[in-house]
Structures are given as C-alpha cells and as structure tokens.
Amino acid sequence: MNYTVIGTGAIGGFYGGRLCKAGREVRFLLHTDYEYVKKNGLQIDSCDGSFHLNGVEAYSDTQQMPKADVILVGLKSINNYLLKDLLTPILTPQTTVVLIQNGIGLEEDLQQHFPDLQIVAGLAFICSGKVGPGHISHQCYGSINLGNYSCSEARFHAILADMQEAGIEAAEVPYLEARWRKAAWNMPFNGMTVALNTSTDKLLKNPATRQLIYDQMMEVIGAANALGVSTLTSEFADKMMAMTDAMTPYSPSMKLDFDYHRPMEIPYLYTRPIAEAKKVGFEMPKLAMLEAELKFLQAQY
C-alpha cells in the first residue's frame, strides 16, 4: 500500500517518516516547508535513533498528487474544514483515512462529508515537535493506538502491520475507548498548561494542581463510562499520572499553539466531549470551567 501524509509536522512527519524509512511508498503534502523539503529532505531527530530522508516525494497541492491507498491526517483539528477539498482529489473507493488527531467526534464529522469513506482513528502517545523546516524532534514515547471506525478488517490490519513492521509501537484498541483514552490525558494537560502558562512537570509537582489534574482526568473517565466505555477506571488515571511523572518536561501542542498565537483545538478537545457527555446526563464541571478559560484566552489574540 502507498501512504499520503496530510500535515507533515510533528505527528504526520514522524509516522510518515518511519514508514518511508521502512521502505513504504510515502508522499508528503507540505505548505510552507515544501521548497525546503523538496530540496533537502526530512530530518527526524529521535530518541529511538535519528534519521534523514532524501528524495522525499513532496507536494504542495493534492490536485497534483497520485491517488492514495492510505491517508494519514496530521493536521490540527481546527483545520478540518479543509479536509473536504484536500481529500477529494486523492480518494479512490478503497482509500482509508487515518485521523491522527486529538479530540472527540472527528470521525463522525468526516463521515458526514464522505459517507462511503473508510476511516480509522489514530491516537498518538508521543512527545514530538517541529523545530524547523523539514526538521522534527522526537523526544520520547511514540506509540499509536488505532481504533477502527468504518474500515474493512483486512485493510485495518494491513495498516496496523505496516506500522509495526516500520518499528512503530502500534496497537488495536476499540474505537470509542481509543478516543476517550487519549482524551483522559489531553483534556487536563493541554488546557492546564495554557491556563497556568506552565509545563506538565510543574503541574504535577504542585500538590494543588496535581489534585486538580487528577480530578479532571476522572471527569473524562466518568464521561467515557457514561458513554459505555467501561474499561477506563481510576487505575488508568493512576497510570497516566505516573507516565507523565516520568515524561521529559513537556509543553503539549495546545500550549505551543497558544504561545505562537495560533488557534487552539478547543472545539474537538473540549466543547464536543463536554457536549457528548451532557447528552447522556454526565456533567464535567471542572473541564467546562477550563474550556471557558481557554475561550477567554483565545479571544485575547
């Protein structure tokens, strides 16, 4: 299978780069970095071993790209309004789209635009950032959970196998569990690093904010339980806290977006999950307050 990466940044560039390094045919859609990557290739500095890709198949417009078997979407979800136009030129009846994005409701919304499209959720657990043109720094972790939303079993497992053969720690997780599992980390840490202008380690070192983070995480788990995901428990919250304690001090993607005055992913990371929980009678008061604070901060620039 060939792969097309839409959004060649910290996420799409890393996973697409690993697949390319393993010998898969991978095409990369770029915007501001197009000329640089076309000439110089992609550099991935990684805790698991750095590498450089020369002769990258780089494109600046999907209208010029060949049809795709699998599309990895690494765009920020705030840009998903672009997907209808970006995807249409490279789709076939068999194409699968893997949304490696944060949030709740992403697949449902994309399926409304493309009713017959095969869609997979990709939930990356990775500390990675784009540090320059065509230059990605992977600091730690790097696993990805795949949740099958509307994909054939054969295609889904072929994608999973390709990732595993490329050295990516990829695992199959039930779709809804996969989305809420990632939200349990994202909703507390992304927003709190913005609201308090800090990093993950400092949030956990302070007893007051550590408790608040845990309470917010349990709100997410409570919402997931109310929506039928019984596998997420307080033990999972304890595991996420311990994992973050061991993590390199980190500014999540929303904090970087805020620092660089880019739109934050509030709609899918906060507004949608809070609304989905409310539909089944579960309230998320601490996270609703955090959402309001983020909207206030967003409006200041």
At 121, is the secondary structure helix, strand, or coil? Answer: strand
Q: How far is the C-alpha of 274 from the C-alpha of 255, rounded, in Å?
A: 20
Q: Which residue has the tokens 């995480």?
A: 217
Buried b / exposed e over 90-107, threshold 16 CB at 10 Å, is: bbeeebbbbbbbbbbbbb
Options 76, 130, 182, 255, the catalytic residue: 182
> Residue 35 corresponds to which amino acid?
E
Active site residue 76: no
Cα-based distances in Å from 51 to 18, 29, 124, 223: 9, 20, 20, 41
Long-range Cβ pairs for the range 85-88 (8 Å, 24+):
86/6, 86/29, 86/62, 87/6, 87/62, 87/114, 88/62
At 140, is the secondary structure helix, strand, or coil? Answer: strand
Total Cβ atoms within 10 A of residue 76: 20
Q: How far is the C-alpha of 98 from the C-alpha of 24, rounded, in Å?
A: 16
> Residue 121 corresponds to which amino acid?
A
Whether 227 contacts 275, CB under 8 Å: no
Tokens found for residue 241 = 């806290």
For the annotated catalytic residues, the residue numbers are 182
